[in-house]
Homo-oligomer: A and B are copies of this chain.
Amino acid sequence: MSSEEAIPDFWSVVPAGGSGTRLWPLSRRSAPKFLQDLTGSGRSLLQDTAARLTPLSQDRLVVVTGILHADAVREQLPELAEDRLLVEPSPRDSMPAIALAAATIERIDPDAVLGSFAADHVIGQPETFRRCVREAVQVARAGALVTLGIQPSYPSTGFGYIEVGGPWRVDGAPSAHRVDTFVEKPDRATAERYLAGGRHRWNAGIFVVRAAVLLEMLGTWHPDLVEGARLIAAEPRRIQDVWPSMTKIAIDHAVAEPAAAAGKVAVIPGDFPWDDVGDFASLATLLEESGDHPGLRILGPRDQVISQDSSGVVAAHAGRTVVTLGVPDVVVIDTVDALLVTTRERVQDVKGIVETLQRIGREDLT
């Protein structure tokens, strides 16, 4: 048996949402980061995500996206069957989306195990990633909610953490452990303590669980969401009536945190490179240094960038020549209708620029 054989009862769920405002002007409401090739791979993050999962779930892939992006998703994933694309009439955070996917999958295969993976994260070493998912599936079949915990590489204050407990004994999942708690984004000192202590891992928002188990757990705390999801799964055209009344909540708060408190959540340590591409500094680490321009990372056509004594990130996405001269740690994002010039230090504040644009009536640029 090849280690890369598909898992017959495993389904991939990809919630494709989030606008990535800290990646403006690359990422827009109309073209969020999951639709974009941010790494120069030649494929969008969504396409990379789907390709990474195909060896595990083949065509058992369900994508949940907003009405604004449904056509773009169809275009980027032409093999996706129409009934595997779930279109949200409005954004209601991750739980309703995943619940709807679970109810839809449960009708096709009542014993299915699903794994939910964001459409806009970057994952290296896909074989290692899939080996972790295989272990997670073993644990999920036995009734647990399973997450993958990413080995922290620095004391990030931008991610939530998973506090890892004792071993979780299931055949075929030697590295499974109990999740003691999920913790919110910590302050710097706490993050440093987590990193030093070795008991905390980054929460990448990856969950593997039997569809029926997820709905059962959810039913304990949010029965309305289960009822709504099953109604829509049975009669998809009812989504217009039912969806707006569904509770807007993230899966972490709706299920993962209370389930962890009840001792029902396991974690598989994920030691593959993972990045949520949250801002341009994060994006920079994913790009190779330009051979001609040491210290500079280039996104988009390299022959359009001329650089002297500069470091940072340059994206030449407007077909124009971009010259940087003597600017260290700069971020230059050149698009057809908007140009951003900032520094690596200020990338978190790009979100505020998007808010400013909305406030001054330039939503057209967001």
- Residues in chain A within 8 A of chain B (CB atoms): 25, 306, 308-310, 318, 320-327, 330, 332, 334, 336-343, 345-346, 349-350, 352-353, 356-357, 360, 362, 365
Q: Which residues of B are found within 8 Å of A339, using beta-carbon distances?
A: 320-323, 332, 334, 339
Residues on B with beta carbons closer than 8 Å to the beta carbon of A349:
308, 325-326
In the complex, which residue of chain B has the Cβ closest to the Cβ of A335?
A: B320
A341→B330 contact, CB < 8 A: yes
A306-B353, A308-B352 in contact; A341/B321 too (CB < 8 A)?
no
Q: Known contacts A349-B308, A353-B306, A356-B306: does B321 contact A343 (CB below 8 Å)?
A: no
A239 to chain B, nearest CB (A): 37
Contacts of A340 in B (CB 8 A): 323, 325
Counting from the closest, the 8 A-B pairs by CB-CB distance are A326-B346, A325-B342, A321-B338, A324-B341, A322-B339, A323-B340, A325-B346, A332-B341
A195 vs chain B, min Cβ distance (A): 27
Q: Across the interface, do A343 and B327 meet the contact criterion of CB distance under 8 Å? A: yes
Q: Which of B321, B325, B338 contacts A323 (CB 8 A)?
A: B338
User: Would you call B323 and A341 a contact (CB within 8 A)?
Assistant: yes
- Report A179 CB to chain B, min CB distance, Å: 38
With A325-B346, A325-B349 already in contact, 12 other A-B pairs whose C-beta atoms are closer than 8 Å: A25-B323, A306-B357, A308-B349, A309-B346, A310-B341, A320-B336, A320-B339, A321-B337, A321-B362, A323-B342, A325-B350, A327-B342
Chain B: CB-nearest residue to A312: B341
Q: Could you say which of A332, A339, A357 has the most chain B C-beta atoms within 10 Å of its C-beta? A: A339
A320–B340 alpha-carbon span in the complex (Å): 11
**Can you name the residue of chain B whose Cβ is closest to the Cβ of A330?**
B341
With a CB–CB cut-off of 8 A, which chain B residues contact A336?
A: 320
Which residue of chain B is the closest to A328 with respect to CB atoms? B343
Residues of chain B within 8 A of A322, CB atoms compared: 338-339, 341
B320 touching A353 by the CB < 8 A rule?
no
Rounded to whole Å, the gap between the CB of A133 and the closest CB of chain B is: 39
Question: Could you tell me if B342 and A320 are in contact, using CB atoms closer than 8 angstroms?
Answer: no
